[in-house]
Chain A
Amino acid sequence: MTETNEPTTDVTFSELAGEQHTPPRLDPDAPPVLTVDNLRMWFPVKSSGVISRTVGHVQAVDGVSFEVPKGGALGLVGESGCGKSTTGRLITRLYKPTSGQMYFGDNRQDIASMSNRQLKPLRRDVQMIFQDPYTSLNPRHTVGAIVGAPLEVHKVVPKKQVLSRVQELLEVVGLNPEHYNRYPNEFSGGQRQRIGIARALTLNPKLLVADEPVSALDVSIQAQVINLLQDLQKEFDIAFLFIAHDLAVVRHFCPEVAVMYLGKIVEIADRDTLYKRSHHPYTQALLSAVPDIKQAAVGGRRERIRLEGDVPSPINPPSGCRFRTRCPIAKDICAKVEPPLLQIGPRHKVACHFPGELGKAPEQPATTRLLGLDSAGSPDASVTPTEVPQHPGYDKTWYDLERQEMVSA
C-alpha cells in the first residue's frame, strides 16, 4: 500500500506519478463470475384507499443481461432513474427479482430464486460498497465493530481473532490499525469510504458491487479511493460491478461498460469501442454532454448533441424503443418495434434500429432483415426473420452492419 491517511511528505509528486495504479485490462478469455440473464424488477404501484389494488408497475429493470468476468470490472452507467442502482441491489439480493436468472460462482448457482436461508453462504462472496460514507456507517458503532460484524455474522474466525483480522483489513485500506476503537464521526469522508471498503472486503468476496463509490467525495480524495480499489482488485482478484454516473471515472476503472436507459441496456462494449465508436444515439449524447477539461482549455467544447426533455416515466414507458421520445434520429419503426440488443462486433452489442457512429447513422433501419420487417416497421412476408440470440455473453459470430449478414472473426 502506498497510501496512508496521514499526509505523505517524504514522497515526491513524480514518485507518486510513477506508482503503477494502472487501470485493469480486458481479459477476453476470463470466465464469468456472474451471469445475469433477462433480469426483471417490476415494483408494483398500489392505488390509494383501504383496498389497495395494484394499478401498474414501475419497470425499474426490464430484461437486462450481461456477464461480469472473473477479476474484471463491468461499468454500469446511465442517468438517474435508469435502473442501474436497482440492478446492483438485485445482484446483492437486497431485492428479489420479478423474473430472470443470475448465475453466480463456480457452481453457476442461480441466486435469483434462492431463499434467504440458501443465500446466506453466498452472501459472503457478493458484497457492496455504498455511495454515501456518512449514512452507510452506524454512528454508534466503533470502526472495529463495523468491520468485524461480517466475521461474527458468518462465524468465519473465532472471536479472539476478530480484532487482528480487523486491524489487518484497516491496514489494507490505508487506515491506521490502531484506530479500530474510534467512531465514524472521527474520520473524514475519504477515510469513512475506506472503512466501508474494509467492511466489504472482510469476507474475501469474489464480486463487489460498488454503487457510486466516489461520487460523494472531494475531487482530490476520489483519486485516492479509485487507486485503492484498483490495487485491491489486483491483489485479491475481485470482480467489480461499478455503478456510476460519471463517465470519466467509469472509463478509467472499467475495461467493459454497459449503458442503461429506462431499465434496459442500450449498448454494451469494451471501453475503447464504447468511448470511441459508440453506435447508439443515447451513448453518443451522454458522451458529448460530459465536460472535458483538456478540450475546453485549448478552446471550445466538442460538438454537443442536445437531448430535449426528460426521461419518460418507467411506469408507462414509450412503445417500441424506449429512447425514441428523445432520440434525434428516431423514425416510424422505432415506435412500432423494440430494437433487440444485437451483437455488431466481437465485443459490442447495441439496441438500435439505426446503429452507427456519430453522424453516420444509416438511412434505412439496419435491423429489418433480421426481424422480418419492412422499413416502416410492419411485418414483411417476403423476409424470414432470423433468430437474434439474446443471451448474456458474446458470440463468436455477429451481425455485420455493412454487409447486413452474420459474420465471424
Chain B
Amino acid sequence: MTVTAPSTTRADASGDPYLVVEDLTVRFPTEDGLITAVQGLSYSVQKGRTLGIVGESGSGKSVSSMAVLGLHDPKSARITGSIKVDGQEVVGLPESKMRKIRGRQVSMIFQDALAALHPFYKVGGQLAEAYQVHHPSASKREARRKAIEMLDRVGIPQPDRRVDDFPHQFSGGMRQRAMIAMGLINDPSLIIADEPTTALDVTVQAQILDLLQDLQREFDSAIIMITHDLGVIAEMADDILVMYGGRGVEYGTAKNVLMRPQMPYTWGLLSSVPDVTGDTDAPLIPIPGNPPSLLSPPPGCAFHPRCTHKDKVEGGAVLDGPARAGAG
C-alpha cells in the first residue's frame, strides 16, 4: 500500500517574483459591443510557489492567463497593462520574440488533452517537436531520447514503447500525463495549468496533482493553477486569487482566503460546496442569481446584484469578517 503524506510546508521562495501582472485589462471588440473580459487585474508569482486562480466560467481566469502566454490575436484583443515574465515586458512583444518565451520560460497545460494533442501524430513525435523548437541544434535522436525521458518522468509505464503510440491509444490520465511531459520538456520556470484535472476521475486527479507537486519540487518552477474546484485549489495553492466578472475580488495566502475570506463572493463559493467530512445536515447556501454579463456589467462592484451584504454590515460565526472588503 502506498500511503503518501504530502509535505505541506514548502520553503518560502525568496527573491523577486517570476511573473508580475499589473493592471491587466483585456477587451474584445464584438458585434454587440466591447467585452471587457479582464479588468485591472494584478498579481505575482514566485518560483517554487503555486498561485490558484478560482472563478466561474466567464470570470476571466483563462483569458488573463492566455495573455501571459501572448495567445490572444492582437487584431481581436485589446490588451493594456503590464505583464513581466522574469523582468521582461510581454504585452506588445512581437510574435517572433514571444515564441522564444512560450514553451521555454512559460508553458501551458490544457484541460482537454485529447483536443490539445494532435490525433494524427505519435505522442513521442509531438513531444520531440516541442523540444526541437527551442533546441534547434538537437538531433532527431536526441529529441526522441528526451521525449522518452520525459514520459518516464511523468510516470508512463514502458515509455520507450509508448512513445510510438498515438494519443487515442492512451487513457485519459495518461494523455494528461503526456500533456504535462510536453509542457515540462523545456524546463519552463512558469507552468500555467488550465483546469488540468477537470476531465479526470478523482483517483486519476489525485495522481496528477501529486505528480505536479513532485515536479514543482524538482524543478523549482512557479505554477498558476486555474480551476473552479475549490478542493483542488485548497490542496495545491500557496496563494489564491478569486476572480469574478473579470476582476480579482480577493487575493491572499491560501489559508487566509479559505479560513478568513473577506469578500461575500468568496463566502458564497465556500458555503455552496458540500464536502466529504462536514456535517451532513448542514444545508448548502447558494449564491442567488447568475454571473454577470460581460457586455454590460453592473455598475460599481460586479457582484452587488447577487450580494446579500451590499448595504448591511453583519458578522456571524459562519460569515466571519467585515461586510465589504477586497477589490472590485
Question: What's the tally of chain B residues with a CB closer than 8 Å to chain A?
Answer: 69
Does B305 lie at the interface of the complex (its beta carbon under 8 Å from any beta carbon of A)? yes
CB distance from B107 to the nearest CB of A (A): 24
Interface stretch (choices B2-10, B30-38, B130-138, B143-151)? B2-10
Are B309 and A13 touching (Cβ within 8 A)?
yes
Shortest Cβ distance from A250 into B: residue? B274
Does A5 lie at the interface of the complex (its beta carbon under 8 Å from any beta carbon of B)? yes
**Known interface pairs A219-B56, A293-B230; A13-B264 also in contact (CB < 8 Å):** yes
Are B280 and A252 touching (Cβ within 8 A)?
yes
**Known interface pairs A79-B201, A223-B284, A293-B270; A248-B258 also in contact (CB < 8 Å):** no
Are A21 and B276 touching (Cβ within 8 A)?
no
CB distance from B133 to the nearest CB of A (A): 31
Per the 8 Å Cβ criterion, residues 221-253 of B in contact with A are 228-232, 234-235
CB distance from A329 to the nearest CB of B (A): 7
Are B272 and A249 touching (Cβ within 8 A)?
no
Are A303 and B4 touching (Cβ within 8 A)?
yes
CB distance from B211 to the nearest CB of A (A): 11
Q: Which of A22, A188, A285, A295 contacts B203 (CB 8 A)?
A: A285
Are B272 and A22 touching (Cβ within 8 A)?
no
Q: Which of B2, B157, B259, B287 contacts A305 (CB 8 A)?
A: B2
Which residues of chain B come closer than 8 Å to A23, judged between CB atoms? Answer: 280-281, 283
Per the 8 Å Cβ criterion, residues 164-192 of B in contact with A are 171-174
**Known interface pairs A4-B288, A79-B201, A227-B284; A292-B258 also in contact (CB < 8 Å):** no
* A247 to B319 CA separation, bound complex (whole angstroms): 25
Question: What's the tally of chain A residues with a CB closer than 8 Å to chain B?
Answer: 68
Are B285 and A13 touching (Cβ within 8 A)?
yes
Q: Which of A221, A222, A248, A309 contacts B290 (CB 8 A)?
A: A221
Q: Which of A11, A292, A297, A299 contacts B276 (CB 8 A)?
A: A292
* A29 to B287 CA separation, bound complex (whole angstroms): 36
Report A282-296 CB contacts with B as 1/0, cut-off 8 Å: 000111111111111
Does A14 lie at the interface of the complex (its beta carbon under 8 Å from any beta carbon of B)? yes
Known: A219-B272, A248-B274, A289-B203. 11 other contacts (CB 8 A): A4-B288, A7-B305, A9-B307, A11-B288, A14-B316, A17-B271, A22-B283, A248-B275, A251-B280, A292-B234, A304-B3
Q: Which 5 A-B pairs have the closest CB atoms?
A: A291-B231, A7-B289, A223-B286, A223-B272, A296-B234
